[in-house]
Amino acid sequence: MTTTHDAPPAYEPLPEDADLWTAKIRRKLVRALPPDRMVPDRQPAYLSSWIYIFGALTMSALAVVIITGTLLALEGPAWWHLSTVGLFVNSLHLWSVELFFFFMVIHLWGKFFMAAWRGNRTLTWMTGVITFMASIGAGLTGYLSQTNFESQWIATQAKDGINAIGAGAFFNVLNFGQMLMWHIMILPLAVVALTVLHILLVRTKGIVPPFEIASPEGGAHADATAETAGGEG
Amino acid sequence: MFASISLALGAIFNLMGSGHYIHWGFVQISVANLLVIVLMVVTFFAAILIPFRHKSGGKS
């Protein structure tokens, strides 16, 4: 119900504040990221397939990776090598990474065969590609950060490959301190920031419709936009 | 308790031995990695083929 007496939305500034930089930024943010699209109550009917759950599953696995990684960073190598709780959390970190890649690869296959870059979604696709590559780097530096014989073996085996692509001068897999910093600082920041950007793009552009109901521009026909309650999938 | 569970799981999966590999020409892959790839393919097709049941009450 809308009447002329409705109060303006809370994000609208007072008339005398309209030119303040805070008001301008707020208006731009609300225009770029409409709140009703960020956390919708209903999804298009074409999302009623299990193939659409793998993005959310990947995010869930990433959350466990970050939480267990934070615990490992708090306690240190002696804890994760020698105590039973530490061994358990270390195993959770490994298996959540396994599931993260497992779900992400199925998400990738699903989106590839849907040509999910259709309908002006190129940036959504590319942020996913770059997140995947950053995750592979995070996985490699994770193996190098275990502080055991396996990590030493992998470092000595990987150095020739890294040198062969010309990156050895600034990315030295034999430099444990550098690899640990990449693993617990640079790459997690990159993966999480890219994931947030990826999700914001998915929410603003919408989830790509299947081929048979897509318009030539990649948008969905009206009969496909009937909505179903609930979250993704 | 934890030690007995570890022992039981360790008895099922022997993680102490050397890994098993499959060789096919210049292709070499560990059985564990091949198993993960097969599981991903099976899960992918299962996700496409298994009907998705959603609760009634939606508009669709």
Q: What is the pTM of this model?
A: 0.83
* pLDDT tens digits, B1-56: 667 776 676 667 776 778 889 999 999 999 989 999 999 999 999 999 999 886 65
Mutation to test the B interface, candidates A52, A106, A225, most B Cβ within 10 Å: A106
Phi, psi of A146 (to 5 degrees): -70, -25
Q: Is A48 on the interface with B (CB under 8 A)?
A: yes
Contact with chain A for residue B33, Cβ under 8 A: no
| Predicted confidence (pLDDT) at residue A63 exceeds the cutoff of 70 | yes
Q: Categorize the per-residue pLDDT at A8 as very low, low, confident or very high, splitting at 50, 70 and 90.
A: low
A4 pLDDT more than 60: no
Class of domain A50-211: mainly alpha
Q: Which residue of B has its CA nearest to A107?
A: B44
A149 touches chain B (CB under 8 A): no
CB contacts of B2 in chain A (<8 Å) are 84, 88
pLDDT band of residue A232 (cuts 50, 70, 90) is: very low
B41, closest residue in chain A (CA to CA): A106
Whether B58 is in a domain gets the answer: no
Q: Where are the domains of chain A?
A: 50-211
Q: What is the DSSP letter of A146?
A: S
Is residue A148 less than 8 Å (CB to CB) from chain B?
A: no
Cβ neighbours, 10 Å, residue B28: 9
DSSP secondary structure of A68-136: HHHHHHHH-HHHHHHSHHHHHHHHHHHHHHHHHHHHHHHHHHHHHHTTTTTTT-HHHHHHHHHHHHHHH
| A34-50 mean pLDDT | 84
Position B20 in a domain: yes
Which residue in the block uniquely carries the two structure tokens 């530096």?
Answer: A141
Q: Residue B27's beta-bridge partner residues?
A: B24
Total count of domains within chain B: 1
- Asked if A85 reaches chain B (Cβ–Cβ under 8 Å), the answer is no
Give the burial class of A216: count Cβ atoms within 10 A of its Cβ; 0-12 exposed, 13-18 middle, 19 or more buried. Answer: exposed
Phi, psi of A166 (to 5 degrees): 85, 10
Out of B2, B57, B60, the one facing A226 most closely (by C-beta) is B60
Reported ipTM: the value is 0.79
Partners of residue B52 in chain A, C-beta under 8 Å: 48-50, 233
Give the minimum alpha-carbon distance from A76 to chain B in angstroms, rounded to a whole number: 21
Three-class secondary structure of residue B10 per DSSP = helix
Q: Report the candidate in A5, A212, A218, A194 with the shortest Cα–Cα distance to residue A104.
A: A194
Query: Would you say how long chain B is, in residues?
Result: 60
Do the domain assignments include residue B42?
yes
Place of tokens 């731009």: A28
Q: Look up the domain containing B30 and give its range.
A: 9-49
